[in-house]
Amino acid sequence: MWAYIARRVLVAIPTLLAVYTLVFLFVRVAPGDPAVAALGDYASKEAVEALRQEMGLTDPLWVQYLRSLLGYLKGDLGRSLINRLPVSRQVAAALPYTLELTFAGILLGALIGIPTGVLTALRRNRLPDYLGRTLSLVGLSIPAFYLGILLMIAFSIKLRWFPVMGGGNLSSPADNLRHLALPALSLGIIMTSYVTRMTRSSVLNVLQEDYVRTARAKGLRERAVTYSHVLRNALIPIASVVGVYSVVLIGDSVMTEVVFSRPGLGKLMVGAMLQRDYIALQSLILIYAGFVILINLLTDLSYGLIDPRVRYD
Amino acid sequence: MTKGHRIRSRRVRAFLRNRTAVVGAVVAILVAAIAVLAPVVSPHDPLEQDVYHRLAPPGGEHPLGTDDFGRDVLTRIIHGARVSLTVGVFSVLLAMGLGTFLGLAAGYFRGGVELVVMRVVDVLMAFPVLVMGLLVMAILGTGLGKLIVAIGVVLAPRFARLAYGAAVSVRETEFVDAARALGAGPWRILLRHILPNVFGEILVMGTLWTATAIRIEANLSFIGLGVSPPTPTWGNMIREGVNWIVVAPWLPVFPGLAILITVLAFNMVGDGLRDAVDPRLQT
C-alpha cells in the first residue's frame, strides 16, 4: 500500500512539472506587462523599468522559470503584484474557506446522492425513479453560480435566514456555519445530482449480474441481496464517480465563491485574473491543478478500502 | 439495405421512442429557431432604452420586465440565445475536430506522436474545465471568436481521449488489416474505417459537451471574461442583474432560466442519443 502511494506520488511529479511549465508559459504570453499592472497605466517609464528589474522580468525566460520553480519547492509562492503581499499568506488565509466549502459540498452530495441513487435504481420506472431522474438532470444542468443566486434570493433576501455575502468568522463556528450553509447547499445540490445519477446506473448494472440472480434464487431476503450483494459491488464505480465529480465541483466552487463573495481561493484566483496579477494567478492555478491530482490519487486509494480484491502492487 | 443502414435506422427509432430525448430535441430546435429569428420575434430592440420604465417588473409591455437602463429583458434574452448557441455549437465542433484528429493520430501511429499528444492531454486534463477556460480567456482577451477558441481548446482533450481509445482498440482488428493489405493509406484507414466506429460515441459526447460549453460560456460571461456589454449574453445579463437583486430579482432569474432550459434540453438529447447508440449502458 505504502509502496503504491509512493509510486503514485512519484508519477505525479512529472505531471505537476508539466502543469507548472504550461502555466508558466501561458502566463508569460498573456497580454499586459506585470510591472505596468502593478504600478498602473500612468506610471513613468523609469519607474516601470526599475520595477521590471526588481521583479526579475528582465532576466532570460529560463532564469525566471527556474527561479520561480525553486521558489515553489521552498514553499515560496511569490509576491502579489497588486498589494505586494506574499501570495502564500493570502493562500493560507483563503484555503480554509475553500476547503470547508468543497468538503461540505462533496459530503452532502455523497450522503444524499448515494441513498437516492440506490432507491431510484431499486424502484426503476416507478415514481421515485422518475422524480429522482428528473431532479438530477435539472441539477446537473444548472450553473452553480445561478443556483447560488436563486438560493440567495430565496433564503437570504426574502426569508432573511442566512447572510447574503462573505465567509464569516472562522473562529466562531456558528457564524462560520451560517455563512457556509447556502454556498455548501448549492454545491451539494449539484454534487447530489451527479452522484444520484451515476449510483443509479451502477446499481442497475450490478442488478443484472448472475450472482444477484443466484442470491435471489437461493432464497435470500431482498434486503440481504441489496446490502451484501448489490451495494458492495456497486460501490467501486460510485467511489470513482465521487472522485471524478469532486474535480468538477472544484471548478464550480470557484463560481460559488464569486457569487457569495466568500474569501476563498477561487475568488482570489478570479480577482488575480481580472487584475492581471500574474504571480498570484500562476500560483493559484497550480494549487488547483494540485488539488485535482490529489483527488485522483485519493480516489484510486479508496478502491482498496472498498474492495478487498483490489491490491496495490 | 446494408448493415450500416439497418443499425442507423434502429438507432433513429430508439431515439424517437425516448420521450425525454424527443422533448429535449424539440426544445433545442425551438431555442435555435428563436436565436436565428431573434430580430423578427423579439418585441423590442435589445439596446433600446425606455427611460420611463427602468427596472419595470414583469408584465404588460415588457413581459419579463426591464433592466436598469429600461431595456426589455425578454428581447435581450432572445438575442442572448445567439451568443450562447453560437459559442456552444462552434466551440464543441472545434474541440471535436481537433481532439478527434489528434486522438486518432496518436492511437494509430503510436510512438512519438502518441507520447507527445497523450501526455499533453493528460496535463490539460489536470485542470478543472472552468479554471482552464479562465486561463485561456485571460490570455486571449474577450470576444465571441476568442470564447469559441478558449472553450474549444479546453474541451478538445476530452475528445482526444475518446478517439485515442477507439483507434488503439480498432487498429489491431481484421478489417483494418484487410484495408491495409488492400493498400489503403493510414489516413484513409483512419477516416474510412476507424472514425465511423467511434462516430456515434463522439456525437453523443459532442451533444453532452455542448450543454457544458453553454454553461462555461455563461460562467465566463458572468465573471466578465465573455462577450462584452452592451451585447446581451445570458451570463452578462445575470452579472449586471445581480447588482439589482434586492429591488429587481427578475433580472438575474430570467436569463438564468434560459440557460437552465437550454442546457437541460441538450443534456436530454445527449442522454437519448447515448441510449440509442449503446443500449447496453444503463442511464
Please check whether residue B127 touches A, CB under 8 A.
Answer: yes
Contact B139 A143 (CB under 8 A): no
Q: Are residues A142 and A241 in the same domain?
A: yes
Cross-chain CB nearest to A29 (options B139, B246, B249): B139
Span of A238-252, B143-157, B213-227 with lowest mean pLDDT: A238-252
Overall domain count for chain A = 2
Mean pLDDT, range B149-169, rounded to an integer: 89
Contact A251 B246 (CB under 8 A): no
Q: Are residues A71 and A134 in the same domain?
A: no
Whether B7 is in a domain gets the answer no
Mean pLDDT, range B74-80, rounded to an integer: 92
Q: Which residues of chain A lie closer than 8 angstroms to B251, CB-CB?
A: none
pLDDT value at B116 more than 60: yes
Whether A256 is in a domain gets the answer yes
Whether B3 is in a domain gets the answer no
Mean pLDDT, range A41-49, rounded to an integer: 83
Per the structure block, which three cell numbers stand in for A144? 452553480
pLDDT value at B53 more than 90: no
Confidence of residue B54 (pLDDT cuts 50, 70, 90): confident
Domain that holds residue A194: 87-306
Q: Are residues A206 and A287 in the same domain?
A: yes
Contact B249 A153 (CB under 8 A): yes
Instruction: Compute the mean pLDDT over every residue in chain B, rounded to the nearest whole number.
Output: 87
Q: Are residues A65 and A111 in the same domain?
A: no
Please check whether residue B115 touches A, CB under 8 A.
Answer: no
Instruction: Compute the mean pLDDT over every residue in chain A, rounded to the nearest whole number.
Output: 86
CATH number for B178 = 1.10.3720.10
Q: Are residues A234 and A294 in the same domain?
A: yes
Whether A289 is in a domain gets the answer yes
Confidence of residue B217 (pLDDT cuts 50, 70, 90): very high
pLDDT value at B282 more than 50: no
Which amino acid makes up residue B137?
A: M
Whether A82 is in a domain gets the answer no
pLDDT value at B119 more than 90: no
Mean pLDDT, range A196-205, rounded to an integer: 88
Final residue in a domain of this structure, among A76, A106, A132: A76
CB count, 10 Å around CB of A294?
12
Overall domain count for chain B = 1
User: How far away is chain A from the Cα of B119, in angstroms, using its nearest Cα?
Assistant: 8
Whether B29 is in a domain gets the answer no
Chain A residue at shortest CA distance from B265: A141
Mean pLDDT, range B104-124, rounded to an integer: 86
Q: Which residues contact A124 (CB under 8 A, 6 or more apart)?
A: A204
Q: Are residues A43 and A125 in the same domain?
A: no
Structure-model confidence comparison of residues B254 and A43, the more confident one: B254
Cross-chain CB nearest to B129 (options A30, A251, A281): A251
Whether A294 is in a domain gets the answer yes
Determine the residue among A22, A27, A145, A255 to mutate to test chain B binding: the one whose Cβ has the most chain B Cβ atoms within 10 Å: A145
Q: Are residues A37 and A155 in the same domain?
A: no
Q: Which residues of chain A lie closer than 8 angstroms to B281, CB-CB?
A: 201
- Segment B174-204, tens digit of pLDDT: 888 888 888 888 888 888 888 888 888 888 8
B window 222-251, beta carbon within 8 A of A? 222-225, 238, 242, 245-246, 249
B window 11-50, beta carbon within 8 A of A? none
Structure-model confidence comparison of residues B197 and A97, the more confident one: A97
Whether B276 is in a domain gets the answer no
Whether B107 is in a domain gets the answer yes
CB count, 10 Å around CB of A70?
10
Q: Are residues A224 and A142 in the same domain?
A: yes
Chain A residue at shortest CA distance from B124: A19
* Portion of chain B with pLDDT greater than 70, in percent: 97
Q: What is the sign of the dihedral through the CA atoms of A152, A157, A161 and A165? A: positive
Kindly provide the ipTM of the predicted complex, given to two decimals. Answer: 0.88
Whether A3 is in a domain gets the answer no
Q: DSSP class of residue B56?
A: P
Q: Which residues of chain B lie closer than 8 angstroms to A153, CB-CB?
A: 245, 249, 252-253
